[in-house]
Structure 1
Amino acid sequence: MKNNYLNLIGLAYRARKCSLGEETIVKDIKQNRAKLVLLANDIGPQTRKKLTDKCKTYEVPFLIVDDRETLSNAIGKSQRVAVAILDAGFATKIKSLLG
């Protein structure tokens, strides 16, 4: 079940329904484009606080998932600690797979 959500993140990335990078994710949260934010469990404390605070302020759901290595492999990029899902369908399915 866990592997399915990683496949879905990769699919969303290839469909250009993801944003990567702290500043881009914050911008997407503010513009109400982000439907779900996925954070690696080994994200730095400052980045974690910044992103979780923005999510809470703008009422965007966020989930703490696997480590940065696993998250990065799912999208085929290196050293990614956060991914914003921009599509409601992908976001709903990933939330359901993660429980």
Structure 2
Amino acid sequence: MTIEQQITQLLGLATRARKTISGEELVVKEIRSQKAKLVLLSSDASKNTAKKINDKCASFNVELHVFGDRHDLGHATGKEARVAIAIMDDGFAKKLSGLLNEFNRG
């Protein structure tokens, strides 16, 4: 199984466990309240959205990764296209972080 598939599967698991929040505004809210442990941004997010999420993650010290496009993220969470997803659980965030770092190195 590829790293990409592992990330997608883990995202699906986290979503079924109700440990993800998606949608730009909700994700920003969770970053602000410091409940978001890790944020995923689609590679095709608009410049404004990307900047907003980037800035928020930087100022609240939340790990941010760009992964897949909006359809990949939507598919992984079993929803329509998604541009931003926040992981709300330390365990999932740690595991995803490891996989994403590995994926981005490759």
Normalised by the length of structure 2, the TM-score is 0.91
Deviations 1:2-28 (A, max 9, x none): 100110001101111000111111111
Where does structure 1 differ by over 2 angstroms across 4 or more consecutive aligned residues? none
How many angstroms apart in 1 are the aligned matches of 2:31 and 2:72?
23
Deviations 1:35-68 (A, max 9, x none): 0000000011000000110000000010000111
How many angstroms apart in 2 are the aligned matches of 1:89 and 1:10?
14
1:75 paired to 2:95: no
Question: SS state of the match for residue 66, structure 2?
Answer: strand
Is there any run of 5+ residues in structure 2 with no aligned partner, and where? none
In angstroms, what is the RMSD of aligned CA positions? Answer: 0.7
How many angstroms apart in 1 are the aligned matches of 2:81 and 2:6?
21
- Residue pair 2:9, 2:76 contacting (<8 A) in 1 also: yes
How many angstroms apart in 2 are the aligned matches of 1:29 and 1:12?
17
From 58, 62, 66, the equivalent of 1:64 is 66
Structure 1 vs Structure 2: percent identity of aligned residues? 46
- Residue pair 2:72, 2:81 contacting (<8 A) in 1 also: no
Q: What is the match of residue 54 of structure 2?
A: 52
Q: Give the aligned length.
A: 99
How many angstroms apart in 1 are the aligned matches of 2:32 and 2:45?
21
Q: What is the match of residue 36 of structure 1?
A: 38
Question: SS state of the match for residue 82, structure 2?
Answer: coil
How many angstroms apart in 2 are the aligned matches of 1:76 and 1:3?
14
